[in-house]
Structures are given as structure tokens and as C-alpha cells.
């Protein structure tokens, strides 16, 4: 029966090791919510994105007239995506031939069934 305490010691030391996936103090690792519901910053579950039009602002970093696309260094688009550099197709009446690299623009990004397309884009004045 002396082997049993040794096994428990090994299990206990493994659970408390720095490489263990066991959270030793779950209360201290939760963010302050002030009574509001929120997701943990480390949560990998994305919020569902709704189909619709989203306004955005950014700077043109590349224009591809053949593909009718623009690459934008855009600000955060609330409810859709964080600030990043990304290429988007441009459709409809939006005209990219009047724009040039370096222009600051306002745009409307249409999100529909996991696809983003710029449907309006104008140079900021």
C-alpha cells in the first residue's frame, strides 16, 4: 500500500506544473465585467456576423483594375472585422478608376454569406 501515496504525489505535482492545462485559480483569470455579459479576450468563439452593409474608412495601398479590386489599410469596421490591410473586390456603381494609391477613402462594405464586397467607395476630401 505504500505505492499509492507515491502515485498521488506524481498526479498532484503534474497537475500543478507550469505546463499543466488545469486552471488553478479560475476566478482571478476572468476579466472585470462590471455586471455586463462579455466574452473572455482569450475566447476563440467568434460572434456571428450579420449580412448587411458596413461603413468603413481606410487608405488605398493597391489598385487592381483588371480584377476590379482595391487593397485597403482600413480602420476597425465595428461588427465585422478589426483594423487590417486587406484586398476587396469592388462591384456595382463603385468606380475605382477615379482613385489612386495613397487616397484616403470612405467605403461601404457589403457582407453577404461570408463574402465581403465594396459597393461604394469615395475619396475623402
User: Which CATH number covers residue 118?
Assistant: 2.40.50.320
The total number of structural domains that make up the chain? 1
Is 35 contained in some domain? no
Is 37 contained in some domain? no
Is 113 contained in some domain? yes
Structural domain boundaries enclosing 82: 53-123
Is 39 contained in some domain? no
Give per-residue pLDDT as tens, 30-75: 444 444 444 444 455 567 899 999 999 999 999 999 999 999 999 9
Give per-residue pLDDT as tens, 97-112: 889 999 999 999 999 9
Rounded Cα distance between 19 and 113, Å, is: 40
Amino acid at each position: 500500500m505504500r505505492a499509492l501515496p507515491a502515485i498521488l504525489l506524481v498526479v498532484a505535482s503534474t497537475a500543478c506544473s507550469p505546463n499543466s492545462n488545469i486552471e488553478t485559480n479560475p476566478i482571478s483569470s476572468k476579466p472585470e465585467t462590471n455586471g455586463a455579459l462579455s466574452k473572455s479576450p482569450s475566447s476563440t468563439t467568434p460572434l456571428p456576423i450579420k449580412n448587411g452593409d458596413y461603413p468603413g474608412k481606410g487608405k488605398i495601398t493597391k489598385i487592381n483594375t483588371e480584377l476590379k479590386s482595391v487593397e485597403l489599410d482600413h480602420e476597425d469596421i465595428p461588427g465585422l472585422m478589426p483594423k487590417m490591410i486587406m484586398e476587396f473586390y469592388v462591384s456595382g456603381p463603385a468606380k475605382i478608376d477615379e482613385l489612386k494609391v495613397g487616397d484616403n477613402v470612405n467605403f461601404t462594405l457589403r457582407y453577404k454569406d461570408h463574402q465581403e464586397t465594396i459597393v461604394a467607395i469615395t475619396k475623402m476630401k
